[in-house]
Amino acid sequence: MTEGVRAQRVLFPAGRRSLRGVLAWPNAGPNPGVLVIHEAFGLNQDIADKCERLAAMGYVALAPDLYSGRGPKPFCVLRAMRDLRAGRGQAFDDLDAARSWLAALPQTDPSRIGVIGFCMGGGFALLYAVRAPVGAAAVFYGAVPDDAGDLAGICPVVASYGGRDRVFRPHGERLARYLRQLGVDHDVKVYPEAGHSFMSDHRGLAVRLLAAGPMRIGYDPAAAEDAWQRVSAFFARHLRGSPGS
């Protein structure tokens, strides 16, 4: 456990269902909240660690399990990806429930909520930042809509992509172009030597196989640390009102 931070597994209501999640928060508060959206791998220790990192930065971080009660994991992934492509569905409803629950916590300042997402979660974070009352969004190697108009009304965005990721690198370039066109404050960076999922130190055979594929999946500690510093500065400016941070 990170010093000065508390974390626990939680259950919270989502309509007639209950969703699992991970909650991490600083000892002192209230503080801005951040909704954390997991990768296709689901709510795992890597996402829990990211919640603790955000809490150490001074945020109340909630990562909802978008697969809660939706059946076997392969079907959960397919359903979530279907919702992401459609831009609506149960996954977005669950994010609304998570944001509402996060905002109602006594340790959260409900007027200052942000969102961060990774891979599949990055795509969700981008679209959710259009439809929800959030003050800033951090997008990591997430899918970007084909039409700039789909991002109209979005909050400020900080985004990171891997230059060796042949699948999602063009999405990062497109996102920067669209945000410029829309006049949205943004910080989009492509890390030339990083691949997909460079923020996560995943292990196992599947990851080793994917590392050789077109996305070049793999952890890049230097890129990851730089990206965290950019998120910290961007969130400080837009969620804490600290222009000099």
154-207 tens-digit pLDDT: 999 999 999 999 999 999 999 999 999 999 999 999 999 999 999 998 766 666
Angle ∠(6,11,13) on CA atoms, nearest 5? 130
Residue 157 · residue 145 · CB < 8 Å: no
Residue segments in the chain with a per-residue pLDDT below the cut of 50: 243-245
Q: What share of the chain is helix, strand, coil (3-state, %, to 5)?
A: 40, 25, 35
Position 140 scores a pLDDT of: 98
For residue 2, the model assigns a pLDDT of 76
Residues 10, 96 contacting (CB under 8 angstroms): no
pLDDT at residue 244, rounded to an integer: 44
Q: Which domains, and CATH codes, for the chain?
A: 5-194+222-239 (3.40.50.1820)
Q: Please tell me the predicted confidence (pLDDT) of residue 245.
A: 41
**Inter-axis angle of helices 90-104 and 73-86, nearest 10:** 90
The answer to whether 223 touches 162, Cβ cutoff 8 Å, is: yes
Handedness of CA 19, 23, 28, 31 (dihedral sign): negative
Cβ atoms of 31 and 3 within 8 Å: the answer is: no
* Cα–Cα separations (whole angstroms), residue 118 to 18, 27, 139, 182: 23, 26, 7, 23
Q: How far apart are CA 12 and CA 17, in angstroms?
A: 9
Could you tell me the two tokens for 33? 């909240």
Structure tokens given for 132? 């929800």
Phi-psi region of 204 (alpha: psi -120 to 50; beta: other; left: phi over 0): left
pLDDT of res. 93? 97
What is the pTM for the complete model shown? 0.94
Is-contact 62 102, C-beta < 8 A? yes
